[in-house]
Structure 1
Amino acid sequence: MKQGRSQKYRPVIEETAQSSAPIRGRGASWSPANRFEKLHVDHNDVDPDPGDAVRPRRATQFFRDGTKTIITRNNSPDVGFETSVNPYRGCEHGCIYCYARPTHEYLGFSAGLDFESKIMVKTDAPELLRAELESSRWTPQVLVMSGVTDPYQPVEQKLRITRGCLEMLAKFRNPVAIITKNRLVTRDVDLLRKLASFNAAAVNISVTSLDSKLQRVLEPRTSSPSARLEAIEELRDAGVPVGVMVAPIIPGLTDHEVPKILEACGKAGAQFAGYTIVRLPWAVAPLFEHWLEEHFPERKEKILGRIRHLRGNNRLNNSKWHARMIGEGIFADQIASLFEVGCRRAGIGKRPQLSTASFRRPCEQLALL
C-alpha cells in the first residue's frame, strides 16, 4: 500500500533536460515535470540562439499569497526547530541545490525555473504574525526565518515584509533565528540589536564557497562571499549573535573549502557554526546533474559518485532522519572531522540558546493600565 502511494505521483516519462544552455542570472536552466501533474507542458522549451552559449535573463514574476496563517510547524527530529516563518514561497536566489525546490510543485509550478522566477509573496505576513503571537494558543518559542525560502532574497529590499515580521517579533520580544545568504540582513540591525538585548536573536550567514566565480553560477542572486563576511563583521560589531552555516557542503566541489570558510568567518566574527551535506530530493537531483553538465562536466561523475557514497545504495538522496543532513560512511566522517577541527582552529564555539523569558503580549499590558 505504501509503495503504491509513493508511485502515484511519479512522472510517467523520465525527462531529460530541454537545453544545455545556462540562463543569465538563474541557477536552473529548465523546468522538470511537476511530480503531481499527469500532463507537463514546458513553456520555456525554446531553442536558444545557436550563436549564444547563454540564454537571456528570465524576468521574475511575483504573486500575492493569500495564506491565512504564517507560522509553520514541523516535527522533524533533525532540523533543530519546530516553528518557522516564511515570508515568501520560492526564492529568487536560485541556488541550484536548494532542497526546498520541490515545495513549489504543491503550487502547480516547477521545481526548476519556476521556483526562482515565480515568487509567492505573503504581503500580510506581519499582521498574520501579530495575530498568532497575540493568541493565547501561542507558546513562546524560537521562530526560524526561514525554513524553505530566504527571507532576504532580492525583492525584500523593496517589499520589506521580513522587516515587518521582525518589527512584530521585537514588539513581542519573541526569539528569532535567521538563516540567509544575503547581506541585506544588516539593514535590520536596529531590530536585531533590540531583540539581542533580550537574548532573543541570532543570525546564521550561510557560506557555501569563498570562490566568487563558483558562487555566481551555484547561487546566482545571492550576496558575494566577501559581502557575507562583511555582514558577519557588521552584525558582530552591533552585538548581534552571528554564526556561519557551511551549507550545503558539496563533496568533490566545495568540501575542500571547509577549513578556509571557517577561518575566514571566524576572523570576521562568527561565534558559532553548523553544516549540512547537499540534499537532492525529487526534481533537485536531475536539476543538479544537468547543472554539473553545464558548468563542471569534467568533474560531474566524481561529484555524483561522492554524493552517492554519502547517501548509500547508489542513491543521490536519502531521506532518513539525521543521515539526510550529514550523510553516512567514510566521506561523511571525514567531513565531520574537517568541520570540527576547522571550528576549533578558528575559535568558533557553540550555538547560543535563545530565551523566551522576556516575551510579552503588549495587548495584555495595555489591559492592566
Structure 2
Amino acid sequence: MARASPGVVAALIASSRALLEILVDDTTTVVAFLEDITDLSDSERTALSGRVGAGITDQTMEMLGFVWRDVAEQLIGSSVALADYVYESATGALVLAEAKGSITSAATQGGADSTAHNAYLRQVQPYVYLSPPGPKGGPSVGFIEHGYALAFAARPGHAPGPTAPPPPAIAADAFLAVAETDPTAIAPTAGAGPGTGTALSVQIPPPPPPAKTHEPQSFDLRLGNYRAVFLLANAPSVVAKIDAVLLKSDISPGIQSFVQVVCGDRSFLIGIDPTFPSIDALRPHLSGWAFAVALGPAEKFLHQLANAFNQGFSRAVPVQQLVRGGGEKPPPFIMSPDGFAMLRRDATFETHEVTWNPGNGQITRFDLPPNTPLR
C-alpha cells in the first residue's frame, strides 16, 4: 500500500523468503511446492497462495510489456468488486490486473481457467473502457484500455529423498490461466494439458474510441511504483518526498546520499545516508543479494520528483530491458523494466557517492577508489 512503513515491507519480505525457501522444490522444472505446505493451517496457506499469485501475476505482466504498477484501490474509487492492480505500459496504456493464487492437491488447469474467467467478469470487466474516478471522487487515473485476470494454481507433491525413491504418489505441478479483454489478442487454447497455461478470451462489446485529448490527470501510479522501489533501495528522503507529493504537503525532506555501483554492465544506486533500519536488517535474509535501482531511471525520476509541484510529472522515465538469468551460474543482477533490481553483492563494486537535493533536484557525485567492494 502507498504509505506502508518500511517495517511492514521488511517483515513481508523476510517471512515470504523464509516460507518459500522451505516450501518450494528447487529441483524441478515447474513451480513446485512440497507437500509440507499442507502442514500450514487453511488461513496461512491461503495467505501464502495469494502472495505467490500476486508474484506470478507481476512477472507475467512484465513479460507482457507493462512497466509500472500500483494497488488499484489507491487509484480507483470502486462501488463494485475491483481488481488488485493497475499497470501502465511504456506507451502509457493503463490496464487492470486481478491476481489469483491457489496451492491445493485439487489444482487443475480447468480450475485455473474457471477462476481466471470468473475473476475477470467480476473484478475487471466493470472498469474496462472507462475512466473511473479516483478514491473519494478524486481525479481519474486515466482511461482503462484493457484488463487481465491471472490465476495461478499449484499442486504440491512429495520431496525427493536422499536416495532414489519410488515415484511420488502425487507429482507436483503448476498451472496458469490468463483471461483478458480483447477477443482477438490471444485465441483460446484448446486441450491444454498439465503444466501448461491457458489464455482465455472474454467477449465484451467493443470500446468507444478513447478520447485522448489530454494526459491522465493523476500520476499517482508512477509515484506509488517508485515509492516501493526507493524504499527497498533504502532511500528515506526520496520516500518522504514522494509521500509529500502524494499528500500534497509542504514537507521538505533532507538530502539523500547514495552509493553508485556497477554490477555486470550496468550502474545502479543504493541509499547509504539516511537509511531505513528495517531495510538494513534484511541483509541476512537476502542470501547475498542487495536491492537497488538502475541509474538512468533513478536520475530521471529524481529530477522530476524535485520539480513535481512546479512542472508536473511527465512520462519520460527511461524504461529498462527486462533482464532474467539463465544457466547454472546465477546472473549478477535481476532487473525489472522500471529499473528496480537485485544485485549479487559479490559481483558489485562501488564507483561514486551521490547526493540528491530534493529542493532543487541537483545530483552531485564524488569518486571512490576503483573496485571498492559493496559495503
TM-score (norm 2): 0.26
Higher strand share: 2
Higher helix share: 1
Structure with greater contact order relative to length (CA < 8 Å, sep ≥ 6): 1
